Amino acid sequence: MIVAEQKPIEEIKRMLRGKSKVLAVGCGTCVAVCFAGGKREVGVLSAAIRMATELDGAPVAVDEALVQRQCESEYVESLRELLGEYDAILSLGCGVGVQTLAEHFPDTRIYPALNTKFMGAPVQQGVWEERCLGCGNCLLDTTGGICPITRCAKHLMNGPCGGTDRNGRCEVDPQTPCAWYLIWERMDKLGLQEELLKVRPPKDWSTSHDGGVRRIVREDLKKPDLNDETQ
């Protein structure tokens, strides 16, 4: 899932300065399950802003709504009839949600209430950790299902650097296990260490963000065009 966390209230207050009526819109998908932008978080943040701005003497009326999936036009369309009532939308979606709202409603000011952090998973209740960098060319088949691109700060392809400590921890952060230590242990358990001895060529980063904005086109899913006679 996409994992996000709420911006400080002070920062959100600064964005909303001068506005009198704002609609806070949550998203019922990724940010709801990481407790950053679901219905409950919309309730908490909206109440906090209402009270904080009231105390500042410049009250902002914040109403609350939730879109099931803020990154799809069909879902956000249901907000359209409400827009006339508000000075701005405060989105509790991830960066994709905020931009979908901005693209869909070009005349409305959209503010982000969250910082989108990473693609990850909960490792225990209340703790989320990054697991995928979206490099566009998955190599998990060769590393025992543990990603060295995401979980090694140096994105190393051929084993650990010299910064791993005796307990298999990373020099960047002693709380983080060395990805290559984990990979070796796992491959060892699977009896596949031999595979790790093969040298991997440097990674082609053009499939990652380095290649610019990425796009996937699925012709089979596109809407048929009645005017296209070549079909």
Partner 1 sequence: MPDQTLFEPRIIGLCCRHCAYAAADLAGSSRFEYPPSLKIVAVPCTGRTDVVQILRTFEDGADGVLVAGCLPGRCHYLVGNLHARKRVDYLAWMLEQIGLQRARVRMINISAGMGAKFAELANEFAATIQQLGPTGLKMKRRAREITLVNRGMANDSR
List the interface residues with partner 1, window 13-72 (CB under 8 A). Answer: 23, 40, 43-44, 46-48, 50-52, 54-56, 59, 61-68
Long-range contacts of the stretch 45-52 (C-beta < 8 A, 24+):
45/6, 45/9, 45/12, 45/90, 45/92, 45/113, 48/9, 49/9, 49/12, 49/13, 49/16, 49/22, 49/24, 49/90, 52/9, 52/13
Rounded to the nearest whole angstrom, what is the least distance from the CB of residue 29 to partner 1 in the complex? 11
Per CB under 8 A, the segment of 75-83, 109-117, 179-187, 211-219 that binds partner 1 is 75-83
List the interface residues with partner 1, window 81-110 (CB under 8 A). Answer: 82
Residues in contact with partner 1, counted by CB under 8 A, come to a total of 31
Indicate the residue among 36 and 183 with the shorter CB distance to partner 1. Answer: 36
Indicate the residue among 48 and 133 with the shorter CB distance to partner 1. Answer: 48
Rounded to the nearest whole angstrom, what is the least distance from the CB of residue 187 to partner 1 in the complex? 35
Q: Residue 215: exposed, middle, or buried by beta-carbon count in 10 A (0-12, 13-18, 19+)?
A: exposed
Is residue 112 within 8 Å of 7, Cβ to Cβ? Answer: yes
CB proximity list for 133: less than 8 A, separation 6 or greater:
119, 147, 149, 150, 208
Indicate the residue among 56 and 204 with the shorter CB distance to partner 1. Answer: 56
Binding positions for partner 1, rule: CB under 8 A: 8-10, 23, 40, 43-44, 46-48, 50-52, 54-56, 59, 61-68, 74-75, 77-79, 82
